[in-house]
Amino acid sequence: MSKTTWIITDGKKGTENQCLGLASSLGLTPTVFQIKPRFPWSLLPPIFWFFPLIGIKGLPKKEPWPQVLIAASRSASAVAAKIRQLSQGKTLTIFLQNPHLSPEKFDIVIAPSHDQLKGPNVIETLGCLHPVTPKVLEQAYKEHDSLLGAMNPKKVAILLGGKTRHYQMPVPLLETYATQLRLLAEKNPISYMLTASRRTETKCLEAFRKGLGETLKFIWDEKGPNPYLGILAHADIILVTADSVSMISEAIATGKPVYILTLKGFSKKLGRFHKDLLEKGIIRFFEGSLESWSYKIPLQTKDIIGRIKALGSHY
């Protein structure tokens, strides 16, 4: 019988997908809760959430607590820690990313190495957890073959993120990247497959469309399901904007050459992430040309599951 499992996040799709991917790998069927903090909790860091269950909407606030709790996002950390306390340790509590609380308040914390979080119950990962596996890519390739299979033999994926606290996406810069790619396609049989995230502004997408010109391309029109996984599966080379740890983590899970499109701005944490991948020979920064190389795919899920079972003795 499957253990009762909750997932708690702030509702961001990328964050929720990480939790769902972990639950699937553990063979769990979760109930997903998207929580929203009330005022004034919404203004406070987790360490000051003294009554966290009162401070949120979207979650049952009494027993029975789940046997397994997987949580992620800043607003979920104090809530997850409180549930673990109220269950008297009977709820195996796994937190993804940096909880901005002591890791001791959880059974297991899984955080990317660029967060520099340490502790006996901390599992460090290269990038973040994600659902991209060889099996998923194989299935996605078949599902999207009618849409993407007839393009030029050399297919390049372009994954666009969006503006963040640390990064800007100036339209002229994106047009420059797109123009460079168009010029490459004029000399070589290359086609482009572009998909945008929820954070991508329309003007950024249009800048790429304009710069690519008449180059053979597929640009997702945001109608129907996003063929994101199909684009990853069909790509020979992947370009992804520097702002997104999740998209970069998913791109490098394919084992294909991954170029980073640098943006205006800088983040110390993401800078460490980029530097680590660069030193391992996994990524390169796009400078106007496209090459191929190979690297060892950072397969982490199997090791993570083993460590979870070792740390969570009552799992």
- Mapped onto helix, strand or coil, the DSSP state of residue 160 is strand
What is the pLDDT of the chain when averaged over all its residues?
A: 91
Going by pLDDT thresholds of 50, 70 and 90, the confidence category of residue 308 is confident
Tell me the angle at which helices 13-25 and 245-252 cross, rounded to the nearest 10 degrees: 40
Going by pLDDT thresholds of 50, 70 and 90, the confidence category of residue 29 is very high
Please report, rounded to a whole number, the percentage of residues in the chain having pLDDT higher than 90. 74
E strands, 65-221, are 68-72, 92-96, 108-112, 122-125, 154-160, 167-168, 190-196, 217-219
Residue range 173-181: mean pLDDT, rounded: 96
Domain ranges of the chain: 5-129+301-311, 134-285
Burial class (CB in 10 A: 0-12, 13-18, 19+), 104: exposed
Q: Give the Cα separation of 105 and 160 in Å (integer).
A: 36
Q: Taking the CA atoms of 47, 50, 52 and 55 in sequence, report the sign of the dihedral they define.
A: negative
The yes-or-no answer to whether 5-129+301-311 and 134-285 have a common fold is: yes
- pLDDT per residue as tens digits for the range 245-286: 989 999 999 999 999 999 999 999 899 999 999 999 999 999
Lowest mean pLDDT among 24-33, 135-144, 145-154, 296-305: 296-305
Q: Give the Cα separation of 9 and 22 in Å (integer).
A: 14
- The CATH architecture to which 5-129+301-311 belongs is 3-Layer(aba) Sandwich (3.40)
Residue range 198-223: mean pLDDT, rounded: 91
Q: Give the Cα separation of 197 and 85 in Å (integer).
A: 37
Q: What is the pLDDT of residue 313?
A: 52
- Which class is domain 134-285? alpha beta
- pLDDT per residue as tens digits for the range 56-114: 999 987 789 999 999 999 999 999 999 999 999 899 999 999 999 999 999 999 998 88
Residue corresponding to tokens 């499109």: 261
Lowest mean pLDDT among 94-108, 213-227, 235-249: 213-227
Angle at 178 between CA 172 and CA 182, to 5 degrees: 140
